[in-house]
């Protein structure tokens, strides 16, 4: 007897949008976000499995340890089958497809303006049809090895990982997502199947489709394509990570015209932030680092930064940091200016007018993102990975109060627990 599909409508009074959560009998969580009048569609399926999940157990069994970079390797290999390549199948439907592996998840996606049903069937087919052999695994090692070397030659990539290596003692977030040439040499078809069978269980995955789609359309394809999965308990293991950073400064020479810096504030990460905390954090960082902030304007006037300046909340299982970065001819001075500004805010308190401006900006960004089908699908699925909801987050931003953001500042951005990473031309000195 076929199990019923449980569909929940989620309405947002603030955006006038409705979207739908489907608890599919296969175990997969599905979100459908129809956008009336849109011609394009976008779908993404992801698994809660990223580069940091290298030590795990299934249903309380023995710990399994796999080589660094295997999640990314698996992403590459999953596109292949005995019958050919998924990209070739997408070429026939006209869809544009891609995939990526991050620290905490692996996702596969496509966008299209036509033949959505056919493209979604391809997506759901190949993510459920692994095909690994010793020969195909060995063939991929050279390709991924070249990719690793390419990223090693990227100053933006190196400045980030140098920072992470200087912040984290034990957590695997400090290890390159693709692993090393040495670690991927240890990957076998058997190990790929171990990881696939553990993490690519539909109960550990999420699908989101947005744009010119309907609930009935997506549900029908899921009913046709999905193979029911037994739910299992997956546990990932991480070594204890001290709160304190490893070291406050790291530098690497690179042929860059202007030095690049990342200033990372290491945060406590005992649990994921909820929607209210996320909203408060985003408003706070907007107050500190946006182009309208006092800090930004002062650093621009002093020639410490340029328009490349960025800020972000960086978090996942067992790690969290706030990162400021960009180009600077005087990165040490830029970092010091950021730390002094944060210290002043902690001492003197936030400005209420700045709070209102930042709150409106963050809310505006969320609302404007709902005009893009790719942004919608990525946000809805992204919030799911941390147990959060985009509608609840939107409400939390709209309802955020000054005192809550002030308290959030007191709980984070410890200026005594941050790392500055600099990449600069070794032949020049730029105030570093």
pLDDT of 94-146, one tens digit each?
Answer: 999 999 999 999 999 999 999 999 999 999 999 999 999 999 898 888 889 88
- The tokens for 229 are 């999965």
pLDDT at position 20 is 96
- Kindly state the average pLDDT of the residues 376-397: 95
C-alpha 373/C-alpha 292 separation (Å) is 28
Asked if residues 371 and 250 have their Cβ atoms less than 8 Å apart, the reply is: no
**pLDDT tens figures, 325-362:** 999 999 999 999 999 999 999 999 999 999 999 999 99
pLDDT at position 83 is 76
Asked if residues 323 and 264 have their Cβ atoms less than 8 Å apart, the reply is: yes
C-alpha 400/C-alpha 188 separation (Å) is 49
Is pLDDT above 70 for 230?
Answer: yes
Domains and CATH numbers, the chain: 6-236 (3.30.830.10), 249-424 (3.30.830.10)
Instruction: Assess whether 75 carries a catalytic annotation.
Output: yes
Is pLDDT above 70 for 251?
Answer: yes
**pLDDT tens figures, 37-78:** 999 999 999 999 999 999 999 999 999 999 999 999 999 999
pLDDT at position 81 is 82
Q: What is the DSSP string of 46-111?
A: EES--TT--EEEETT---EE--TTHHHHHHHHHTEETTEEHHHHHHHHT-EEEEEE-SS-EEEEEE
| Torsion sign over Cα 219, 221, 224, 230 | negative
The pTM for the full model equals: 0.94
From the candidates 36, 75, 147, 315, give the one annotated as an active-site residue. 75
Question: Taking Cα atoms as reference points, which of 299, 300, 323 lies closest to residue 159?
Answer: 323
C-alpha 175/C-alpha 178 separation (Å) is 8
C-alpha 170/C-alpha 158 separation (Å) is 19
Q: Which residues pair with 211 in a beta bridge?
A: 34, 41
C-alpha 266/C-alpha 3 separation (Å) is 46
46 phi/psi in degrees, rounded to 5: -140, 155
C-alpha 25/C-alpha 118 separation (Å) is 22
For the chain, the average pLDDT equals 94
The pLDDT confidence band at residue 152, using thresholds 50, 70 and 90, is confident
**pLDDT tens figures, 300-333:** 999 999 999 999 999 999 999 999 999 999 999 9
């Amino acid at each position: 007897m076929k199990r019923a599909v449980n569909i929940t409508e989620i309405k947002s009074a603030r955006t006038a949008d409705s979207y739908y959560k489907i608890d599919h009998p296969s175990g997969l969580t599905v979100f459908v976000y129809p956008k009336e009048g849109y011609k394009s569609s976008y779908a993404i399926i992801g698994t809660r499995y990223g580069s940091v999940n290298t030590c795990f157990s299934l249903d309380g069994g023995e710990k399994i340890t796999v080589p660094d970079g295997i999640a990314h390797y698996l992403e590459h290999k999953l596109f292949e089958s005995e019958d050919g390549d998924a990209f070739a199948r997408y070429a026939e439907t006209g869809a544009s497809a891609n995939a990526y592996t991050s620290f905490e998840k692996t996702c596969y996606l496509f966008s299209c303006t036509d033949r959505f049903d056919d493209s979604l069937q391809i997506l759901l087919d190949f993510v459920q049809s692994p095909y690994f052999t010793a020969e195909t695994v060995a063939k991929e090692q050279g390709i991924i090895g070249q990719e690793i070397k390419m990223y090693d030659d990227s100053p933006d990539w190196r400045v980030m990982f140098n920072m992470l290596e200087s912040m984290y003692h034990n957590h695997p977030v400090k290890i390159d997502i693709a692993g090393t040439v040495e670690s991927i040499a240890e990957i076998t078809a058997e190990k790929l199947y171990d990881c696939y069978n553990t993490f690519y269980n539909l109960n550990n995955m999420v699908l989101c489709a947005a744009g010119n789609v309907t609930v009935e359309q997506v549900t029908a394809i899921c009913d046709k394509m999905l193979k029911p999965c037994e739910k299992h308990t997956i546990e990932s293991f991480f070594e204890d990570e001290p709160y304190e950073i490893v070291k406050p400064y790291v530098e690497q020479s690179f042929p860059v015209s202007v030095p690049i810096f990342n200033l990372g504030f290491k945060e406590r990460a005992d649990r994921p932030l909820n929607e209210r905390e996320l909203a408060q954090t985003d408003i706070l960082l907007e107050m500190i680092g946006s182009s309208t902030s006092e800090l930004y304007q002062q650093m621009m006037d002093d020639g410490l930064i340029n328009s490349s300046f960025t800020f972000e909340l960086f978090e996942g299982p067992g790690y969290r940091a706030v990162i400021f970065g960009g180009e600077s001819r005087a990165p040490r001075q830029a970092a010091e200016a950021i730390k002094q500004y944060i210290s002043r805010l902690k001492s003197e308190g936030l400005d209420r007018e700045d709070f209102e401006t930042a709150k409106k900006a963050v809310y505006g960004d969320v609302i404007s993102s709902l005009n893009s089908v790719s942004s919608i699908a990525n946000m809805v699925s992204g919030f799911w990975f941390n147990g959060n909801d985009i509608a609840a987050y939107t409400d939390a931003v709209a309802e955020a109060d000054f005192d809550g953001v002030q308290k959030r500042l007191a709980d984070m951005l410890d200026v005594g627990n941050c790392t500055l990473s600099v990449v600069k031309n070794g032949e020049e000195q730029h105030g570093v």
